[in-house]
């Protein structure tokens, strides 16, 4: 199974000094900063490819702002996605690129803001290896609509989104074939139930697609995804590959693979580093909670409390700096764990008095997993990788998580070798029959 990392302009500054919290004032962000594949350039592969959304690059007008500057937009169209992302001549070898529309950015619009020609032109000019058809997300998942005893329970607007997505997919494939384009076309199936996903999948195969993505599944429960995949398996041709958009569900990937899933994309491993409450640092065996040592300077909440007089600046700053010194000393084996935990607790009573993370801090410090990890992030940052503190640390920890996720993905057993609970999760929902 291939793993594609979505691009969201996640870069780190190699000039950042973690002791002084400073950076090179002459640094130019995109020119000097590193992508994940550059951080891990001299070690094993951390993903198979990159997914780039047109909406991320160019925005969608009134509904979404681009994350690329106008200069970057011009350059990616001029140089191509692989030159822009510095993927060419990489020690890993070939790093593939997928292009998509970023349908969740315009989910509230009546119709997609891009035409098929707009999207095809973007894919061609950027030189993508794969291109997704234009789609319109169905956010509702209501299998009960298919069994409404009082008539058609599916709202017309929902059926219209599926029909529009299929029509755009047909136009996309016609354009691709007529122009003999180089990228591999991927149709997108949208649905509201196992039966409706299977219906869309069958329609896309009839159109001519042999690589089909399932969209709108990010918020679904794992059992619902499995139900959809099982329904799709009743109509899927052996040669048709499946891509799951934005979905991982690691423990169930062997089952997904057995049902035809050939590739996935997700930023979850990266985002968990700074958006999850507990599972911030990943290892091959388990996850750990990062240690919160928020910056006093530049932290909106702390600065607001200091300005209001609720907190004393000098006392808060001293508590913060003491934590950093004690952690540095502990990592160098010169300070007892009890002393470090005391400093952390004192500062936490200031910056987050409603919480007590002492036990999670004790666990990660006792294990010191960064000392066992050979990745470039852990070797450079040492204990700084476990600190929940600013984008430079948090994003590097996310890069580490991506590399660990990929290692775990490569270690997965084949479906026939997987444990029974992974092959067939309890309480699986039987797929509904394919509707006409």
Residues with catalytic function: 100, 265
What are the phi and psi torsion angles at 418 (to 5°)?
-70, 160
From the list 323, 314, 313, the residue with the least C-alpha distance to 346 is 323
From the list 377, 372, 406, 369, the residue with the least C-alpha distance to 393 is 377
CB atoms within 10 A of CB 42: 8
Q: What is the DSSP letter of 252?
A: G
Dihedral of CA atoms 127, 262, 44, 267 in degrees, nearest 10, equals 80
From the list 219, 200, 227, the residue with the least C-alpha distance to 143 is 227
- Residues 6 or more apart whose CB falls under 8 angstroms from that of 263 comprise 1, 2, 3, 4, 48, 241, 242, 243, 244
Asked if 374 and 251 count as a contact pair (C-beta separation under 8 A), the reply is: no
Q: Do the bridges between strand 241-244 and strand 49-53 make them parallel or antiparallel, or are there none, so unpaired?
A: unpaired
- Residues 6 or more apart whose CB falls under 8 angstroms from that of 248 comprise 264, 266, 268, 269, 405
Asked if 168 and 137 count as a contact pair (C-beta separation under 8 A), the reply is: no
Secondary structure element (H or E) that encloses residue 77, with its range: helix 70-79
What is the distance between the alpha carbons of residues 31 and 28, in angstroms, rounded to a whole number?
5
What is the distance between the alpha carbons of residues 276 and 202, in angstroms, rounded to a whole number?
37
DSSP secondary structure string, 114-180?
S-HHHHHHHHHHHT-SEEEPP--------GGGGG-TTS--S-HHHHHHHHHHHHHHHHHHHHHHHHT
Asked if 185 and 133 count as a contact pair (C-beta separation under 8 A), the reply is: yes
Helices 116-126, 156-179: axis angle to 10 degrees equals 50
Compute the Cα dihedral for 392, 393, 398, 403 and give only its sign.
Answer: positive
Q: Do the bridges between strand 287-288 and strand 291-292 make them parallel or antiparallel, or are there none, so unpaired?
A: unpaired
What is the distance between the alpha carbons of residues 97 and 124, in angstroms, rounded to a whole number?
12
Asked if 188 and 203 count as a contact pair (C-beta separation under 8 A), the reply is: no
């Amino acid at each position: 199974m291939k793993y594609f990392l979505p691009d969201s302009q996640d870069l780190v500054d190699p000039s950042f000094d973690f002791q002084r919290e400073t950076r090179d004032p002459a640094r130019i962000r995109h020119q000097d900063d590193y992508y994940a594949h550059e951080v891990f350039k001299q070690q094993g592969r951390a993903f198979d490819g990159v997914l780039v959304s047109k909406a991320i690059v160019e925005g969608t007008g009134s509904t979404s702002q681009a994350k690329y500057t106008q200069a970057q937009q011009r350059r990616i169209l001029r140089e191509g996605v692989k030159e822009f992302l510095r993927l060419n001549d990489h020690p890993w070898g070939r790093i593939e690129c997928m292009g998509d529309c970023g349908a969740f950015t315009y989910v509230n619009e009546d119709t997609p803001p891009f035409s098929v020609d707009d999207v095809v032109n973007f894919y061609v000019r950027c030189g993508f290896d794969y291109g997704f058809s234009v789609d319109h997300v169905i956010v509702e998942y209501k299998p009960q609509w298919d069994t409404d005893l009082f008539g058609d329970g599916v709202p017309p607007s929902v059926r219209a989104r599926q029909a529009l997505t299929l029509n755009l997919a047909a136009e996309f494939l016609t354009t691709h074939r007529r122009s003999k384009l180089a990228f591999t076309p991927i149709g997108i199936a949208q649905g509201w139930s196992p039966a409706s996903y299977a219906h869309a999948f069958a329609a896309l195969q009839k159109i001519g697609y042999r690589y089909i993505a399932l969209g709108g599944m990010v918020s679904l429960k794992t059992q619902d995804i499995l139900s959809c995949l099982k329904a799709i398996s009743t109509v899927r041709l052996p040669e048709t590959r499946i891509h799951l958009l934005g979905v991982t569900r690691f423990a169930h990937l062997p089952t997904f693979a057995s049902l035809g899933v050939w590739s996935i994309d997700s930023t979850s491993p990266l985002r968990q580093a700074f958006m999850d409450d507990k599972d911030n640092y990943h290892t091959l065996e388990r996850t750990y909670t990062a240690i919160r040592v928020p910056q006093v300077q530049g932290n909106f909440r702390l600065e607001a409390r200091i300005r209001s007089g609720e907190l004393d600046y000098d006392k808060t700053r001293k508590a913060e700096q003491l934590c950093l010194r004690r952690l540095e000393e502990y990592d160098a084996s010169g300070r007892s764990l009890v002393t470090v935990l005391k400093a952390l607790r004192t500062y936490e009573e200031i910056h987050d008095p409603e919480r007590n993370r002492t036990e999670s801090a004790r666990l990660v410090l006792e294990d010191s997993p960064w000392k066992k990890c050979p990745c470039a992030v852990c070797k450079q940052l040492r204990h700084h990788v476990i600190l929940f503190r600013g984008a430079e640390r948090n994003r590097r920890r996310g890069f580490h998580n991506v590399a660990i996720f990929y290692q775990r993905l490569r270690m997965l057993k084949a479906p026939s070798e997987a444990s029974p609970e992974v092959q067939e999760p309890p309480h699986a929902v039987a797929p509904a029959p394919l509707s006409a």
